[in-house]
Each structure stands twice: as structure tokens, then as C-alpha cells.
A and B are shown apart, each in its own frame.
Chain A
Amino acid sequence: MTSIAEPLRNSQAPPGPLREFWHYFRENKGAVAGLAVVLLLIFLAAFADVVAPHSPFEQYRDAFLQPPVWQEGGSFEFVLGTDATGRDMLSRIIHGSRLSLLIGCIAVTLSLSVGISLGLLAAFFRTAADALIMRLMDVILAVPSLLLALVIVAILGPGLVNAMIAVAVVYVPHYVRLARASAMTELSKDYVTASRVSGAGLFRLMLITVLPNCMPPLIVQATLGFSSAVLDAAALGFLGVGAQPPTPEWGAMLADAREFILRAWWVVTFPGLAILITVLAFNLMGDGLRDALDPKLKRS
């Protein structure tokens, strides 16, 4: 009696791409910590109204510049103290996480989509369009980023949305260069030729054949770009041309606090710490993503 041999159980299917990714990502402890902080920030941003003990705008008249709870004169009502107009620091910082994540998301989405489009165009039409786009990017790169962002905000008028646009414009060249370089590498490969030969149209080639294979470095750059965007938007807020008071944006809060630096350390320390932690978390995560996604640097 012969029976059909059962397929061997231990010849496991290869791990799916997501599993493989997680396997590598998990090894980098810093990256996992970064991811945890990012998830916490997203949670805080989503439920800021519930989590924050006070309104970010309400001014408590009898608690101007009250120190944090562990210092003399502090109280549990205002755990991280209050600012010069009696607003609760903790609540303002929690609400600020909303703005910072929003700034990062919008700025990165804008510059990523513009950057990918221009980069693919340059790589596919290696003629006048390529030269024009790349020279334009050179021009943008020749002006220090913050200076260019300042001028753009001056044109558009101060405000949070315009600061996001300015930050997005400033970072476009990085994505263009990256997208162009990786698209050009992919374009010379056989599978692209095969796809072209079998009659794939231009958009199919661009968006379905080539683009997905260019994504890993772009994803890494986008994560790192997220932190640069948060940092630059905060710098614009600090210079007074980003988010306008009384918006609880971290950079603008720092600008408000400048005159009290020698009297009330907490109004300066906490908003900056929030920026640092956010930026650091995204950088850690970006490093982990690079290790997990970039085969060249894998296990280096």
C-alpha cells in the first residue's frame, strides 16, 4: 500500500517580507525603542484632549511661572509647572505633539511626492528635463536650508501651514537625487527591459515596475527627513515665523520662554526636551529601517 508522501513539514515557507523585515528591525534595540516612543507620541497626539490635564490655552491667574511638582512651590495640579501666563506646561507639550507629528507628516509627504515625481522624470528622460531638474536642485542645495525656508515663509507669510510648505520645499532635492539615482540603477536591470519589451507603457514602467524597487532608500530618507522637518519647523517657530502664539508648538513655546531662561528653567527645558526626544526617536527608527531595508549595509 503506497501512499502519497506527505510534504515535509520542516521545509518551511520562506518568511514573508514583513516578517523578515521585523526580524532584522528587532535586532536593533535602539530602533525598537525609537518605534515605541513614536507610537507613544502618536497615542498622545490622538488623545491629547483626554490625556492632557488642562486646556493648552487656559491661563491660571494664580499660578504664573509655577515650578514643576518636585521643586518647592510646585503642585500636582501642574506637574511640569506653568508658563509666564499661567498655562499648564504639560498640557501644552502634549498638544504640541499633535502639531509636530502633523508638520512632519505633511512636510515629508509633500517633499516625498514631489521628489519622487521629479526624480523619476529625470531618470526616465535623461535629456533636457534631467539637466533642468538637477540644476534646479543644485540651486536649492546651494542655499543653506534654514535660510531658504526663512525666505519662503517671508513670501508666504508667517504661520504653521506656510512653515510646513517651506520645510517641504527645502528637502525636495534630497528625495529627487535619491529617487533618480535608484531609478537609474533599476532602469539598467533586465526585469525592466523585459517589462518594456512586453509592452508596458511609460506610467506602468515608472510606477509599477521601477518605483517599488526604489522605495527602501526613500523610506529610510523619509523617516530621517521626518526628524529634520520637525527640527526645522521648530526652528522657524523659534524665529517667530512658524506657528504663531498662542499655538502650543514646541519651537514657538521656546521663543516665548526665552526671556525667562534665567528665572524659570522649566519653561525652556521641557519644550526643547520634547523636540529632542521626538527627533531622536525618528532618527533611531530611521537607522533601524536602514539596517533592515538596505541589503548593502545589512549586518555591517
Chain B
Amino acid sequence: MLRFILSRLGLLIPTFLGVTVIAFSFIRLVPGDPIELLIGERGIDPERHAYLLHEMGLDLPWYVQYFDFLGDVLQGDLGRSIVTKQPVFLEFLELFPATLELSIFALTFAVLIGLPIGILAGVKRGTVFDHASMTLSLTGFSMPIFWWALLLIIFFSGVLKWTPVSGRIDVLFYVEPVTGLMLIDTLLSDEEGAFRSALSHLILPTVALGTIPMAVIARQTRSAMLEVLNEDYVRTARAKGLPPGRVIGLHALRNALIPVVTVIGLQIGVLLAGAILTETIFAWPGIGKWLVDSISRRDYPSVQGGLLLIALLVMTVNLIVDLLYGLINPRIRHAR
């Protein structure tokens, strides 16, 4: 097991270095520089432009800039945003809880609905339920989530007026950020109705962001169930006269869950990509929206740092999924 962990960790190092190169170079390849965008239409005389570039160290040769950046990164310093002058890491930490909260809700929604649907569809293979739920999940899987989000707004906010259109909480409330997770913060504060408001703001983004993972989980669970239900040990369990609930719950499901855990883990990347769209539509102050804004402002340090942190997050989650896979599946752990 230790060797397995070490070899997986060893693979992360070149990938991480690769991400630093991409993060560093891509944003510099974007036409225009941060100063031009800060100044805007007014224009700036070339001397001052050169001076400001020099001030930010952007006039140095690219390799000097890169190794400066890499050295700083290895010391945990991601630099300061050119626009807000705040340390990038702090900005990320400030906005990340919003994305985290939304992602946790979306993933929970996806698992809570997708898993039972997949299990039932697998067990009741070929029935109307199976066909209906699989047609629905393929539709969910094909859903352009930016459109889905707009439809949800039209129906639930426009027609039924049940939920707010955008934001994290009603402007009436001021909640002191403690954890950054709005639901917990509103519970800690004594503002009445703040929790309800925060919760109602979460519903539509959760559904919008959770739909594709839900569909993927439902489909994967079904096919894993089908595979497992054909196995000899399930037949043995049935032949022993165990009640069907026990056969499915204990013998089949536990084994079917192994590939499903992997798929759930892989959804983290999907969620982070989806967060860009969902956050833009619902004006959700998370890292997706922040990164899109930073790209358009040519805020080099923010884009570099943000890309790096997100990639690190995805890589860490993938590693955990791999290890978890080894833990729950002894056949992998003991292989070789």
C-alpha cells in the first residue's frame, strides 16, 4: 500500500510542474497586459507604461519571471492580485467556501438521487422504471447546464416565485463571515430568517450544478449493479435463501459501489468546471466567477494562482479517490 501511495505521489510532481508552466505561460500569451486593462481607454504614455511594467517585474526575461514564480509557489507565496492588491491565496480562501458549499450541496443532491435511482433501475432491469429513469438520466447528462439554470429561474423564480433569482443571501441580512459557509454562518449569527434565506438561495444552483453528476452516478450505478448481479456470489447468496433485500444491500451493492466511488470522485472536476457557468448565471461569489473575471482583467497572479490551486485540488481529489479505491477494493491493494 505504501509503495502504491508513494508511486502515485511521485506522478503528481511532474504534473504539478506542468501545471505551473501552463498557468504561467498561458495567461502571458493572452494579448494585452494588466496595465493596459487597468488604464482602460484613457491611454498611458509609453514611459510610464514601461515603468509600471518594471515595477511589477513584468519586463524581466520570461525564464527569470517563471523561476521567480516557481520559487515563490514552492514557498507557498502566490503573489498579490494586480487589481485588488490582495494576496491571491487569501482571495482564493475568501471565495472558495462559496464554491465549496455549492459543490457539497450539488454532490449530495447528485448522490442522494442518482444512487437510489441507479440501484433500482439495475435491480428492476427492463421495467418501465428502468427505461424511464435511464432516459431521464441520459437527458440530464446531455443538459446544457447554463440553459437548465435559466429554465429553473424562469419556472421557480419567475412563474412560481418560490426562490430568489441570484446571489447567496438576501441583501437585508448582514452575516459575519466565520467559516465562509453561508449556512453555518447564518446559524451562528442571530439574524432571524437569514438561514432560510441562504438555504433558498442555494436550491436552484444546487439543482443546476448537480444534474449532470446525478445522471452520471445513476447510469454508472445501474451498470455496476447489473454486472454484480450476474456474479456467482450473488447467485450463491440467493440460493442460500437470503432475503432479496439482504442480497442486494449486502452482497451486490457493496461490490457495485467500488466503481461508483471512482465516478463520484471524478465528478469534482466536472463540478468545478460547471461552477464557472453556474456561478456566472446565479451571481454566486465563488472561485469560478472570480477566475473568469481575472482572465478578462489579465490579472496574472490571480489567474496563475487560481489555476494552480484548482489543479492541485483536482489532483488531490483524484489521488484520494485512487487510494480509496485501493482501500475498498482489496483486489487492487494486494495486486503485485
Contact = CB atoms under 8 A, between A and B. Distances in A.
A151 B142 contact: no
B321 interface: no
Interface residues of A, number: 42
Contacts of A238: 144, 146, 277
What is the interface of chain B mostly: helix, strand, loop, or mixed?
A: helix
B295 A154 contact: yes
Given A154-B295, A261-B153, A268-B154, A146 B277 contact: yes
A139 B18 CA distance: 6
Interface string B104-143: 0000000000000000000000000000000100110111
Interface string B281-319: 000000010011001100000010001001100110000
A53 interface: no
Q: How large is the interface on B (under 10, 10 to 19, 20 to 34, 35 or more residues)?
A: 35 or more
A265 B139 contact: no
Contact of B310 (A30, A147, A231): A147
Contacts of A30: 135, 138
B27 A151 contact: yes
B317 to A, nearest CB: 10
A30 B273 CA distance: 29
Given A142-B314, A150-B276, A265 B147 contact: no
A151 B307 CA distance: 10
Contact of A143 (B31, B135, B148, B307): B307
B86 interface: no
Interface in A201-253: 227, 231, 234-235, 238-239, 251
Nearest to A258: B150
A231 B15 CA distance: 27
A280 B311 CA distance: 30
Contact of B144 (A154, A276, A284): A276
Nearest to A254: B147
A146 B273 contact: yes
Interface of A: 30, 135-136, 138-139, 141-147, 150-152, 154-155, 157, 227, 231, 234-235, 238-239, 251, 254, 258, 261-262, 265, 268-269, 271-272, 275-276, 279-280, 283-284, 287, 300
6 contacts: A151-B303, A152-B26, A231-B142, A261-B154, A262-B158, A279-B144
Which 6 residue pairs of A and B lie closest in terms of their CB atoms, listed nearest first?
A272-B147, A139-B18, A144-B273, A279-B142, A280-B142, A142-B311
